[in-house]
Chain A
Amino acid sequence: MNKSVKNKISIKDNEKFFSSGIKDKIFVVIPAFNEEDKIVAVIRQVQKYFKNIVVIDDNSSDNTLDLSRATGALVLHHIINRGQGAALETGTKYALGKGADIIVHFDADGQFLPIEIAKIIEPILSGEFDIVTGTRFMDKESNMPIFKKYFIMPVARFIMRTLYKSELTDPQNGFRAFNRKVAKELNIENDGSAHCTEIIVKTLKNKWRYKEVSITVRYDNFGASIFSGKGRGAGGLKILKSLFYQKLIK
């Protein structure tokens, strides 16, 4: 891990969680679809900080399900692939049933750093905010591909600003945490990757207190493009299509 990043994360934050017992009420929800290469490492890293890890296998065709179960994490299995948004809602609902006070959404592909969960939870623990989302644009820690950084993301921000009057800098960031109140009211309806937009829209509509926190994102050979993405409803155009139909069936 980048040393400077590690130092920026308040170690005191972690100590606060581990000493207060609140960590028992923190659930990390990880949706996984065909992530056999990375899922075990991701779960093991998160397990260093939190014991309540809910993995939702979205009907992977590889060994993601068995590998996840072997780690001792709480593993749910979708018998049909439903998309990342659907998997997140399943995990959130399950965590609520288990008494979660804070729920963290975390990716299974190793893009995010588990140590930064402390950073994203802190504003909620302090009681000042209801929902905190990660952003890749407050500093330059991430090695985001140029096309994504200078084309896809500005377009996404423009759409969010124009349609929803959102000033958030990173509308498609999947690293977020929220409290129980938000989890109960959220009810993610968009099965695919458009859930990110849906969450922002609901945050603004419900006037939840929100904050963006700078996070690190590591890019390897993954990430959705305009046309493609992993799983149902992923990829830029599919996201726009989902948002359109979502509006119609309301």
Chain B
Amino acid sequence: MQQIIAIAIVLFFVFRLIGQKRKNSISQVEFYLWLFFWIFSALIVIFIKQVDLLVAYLGFSSTGIDVLLYLSIAVLFYLLFRIRIKMEKIEKDITTLVRENSIHDK
């Protein structure tokens, strides 16, 4: 039952992703990147028993889903960090534009 709910959630996001692609809201590369991510997530949900075995084989005491959760938090922190850095760069670009505008308007 849990797997069915998880797959339903994944499908919901895949349909949303397709919708965004049709509206040209995201680029081709971004579309395939997210599609890969959701397909990967669905495969983990379907083969969760094998993931448990793999995790145990690697020496983790937690279940497969726990380890994936820890990993996902680490990935999220990294993405947050990347976004923050990107934002700083965008801020710098805005400053450059504002500066050029003020000097040329004079």
Residues of B within 8 A of A (CB): 84-85, 88-89, 91-92, 94-95, 98-99, 101-103, 105-106
Chain B, interface SS category: helix
Q: Are A80 and B84 in contact, CB atoms less than 8 angstroms apart?
A: no
Q: Are B105 and A86 in contact, CB atoms less than 8 angstroms apart?
A: no
Chain A residues with CB below 8 A from B99, complex form: 78, 82, 86, 89-90, 93
Chain B residues with CB below 8 A from A77, complex form: 102, 105
Chain B residues with CB below 8 A from A89, complex form: 99
Chain B residues with CB below 8 A from A239, complex form: none
18 contacting pairs across A/B (C-beta < 8 A): A75-B106, A76-B105, A78-B99, A79-B102, A80-B98, A82-B98, A82-B99, A86-B99, A90-B102, A90-B103, A94-B103, A94-B106, A97-B103, A191-B95, A245-B84, A248-B88, A249-B88, A249-B89
Q: Are B103 and A93 in contact, CB atoms less than 8 angstroms apart?
A: yes
Is A189 an interface residue when CB atoms closer than 8 A count as contact?
yes
Is A74 an interface residue when CB atoms closer than 8 A count as contact?
yes
Interface residues on A, range: 20 to 34
Q: Which of B85, B94, B101, B102 contacts A249 (CB 8 A)?
A: B85
Residues of A within 8 A of B (CB): 56, 74-80, 82, 86, 89-90, 93-94, 97, 189, 191, 245, 248-249
Closest residue of B by beta carbon distance from A81: B98
Q: Are A245 and B98 in contact, CB atoms less than 8 angstroms apart?
A: no
Docked complex Cα distance between A90 and B95 (Å): 9
Q: Are B95 and A76 in contact, CB atoms less than 8 angstroms apart?
A: no
Q: Are B95 and A82 in contact, CB atoms less than 8 angstroms apart?
A: yes
Docked complex Cα distance between A90 and B88 (Å): 19
Q: Which of A78, A79, A93, A189 contacts B92 (CB 8 A)?
A: A189
Q: Are B95 and A86 in contact, CB atoms less than 8 angstroms apart?
A: yes
Chain A residues with CB below 8 A from B102, complex form: 56, 76-79, 90
Docked complex Cα distance between A10 and B67 (Å): 72
Q: Are A74 and B106 in contact, CB atoms less than 8 angstroms apart?
A: yes
Docked complex Cα distance between A90 and B85 (Å): 23
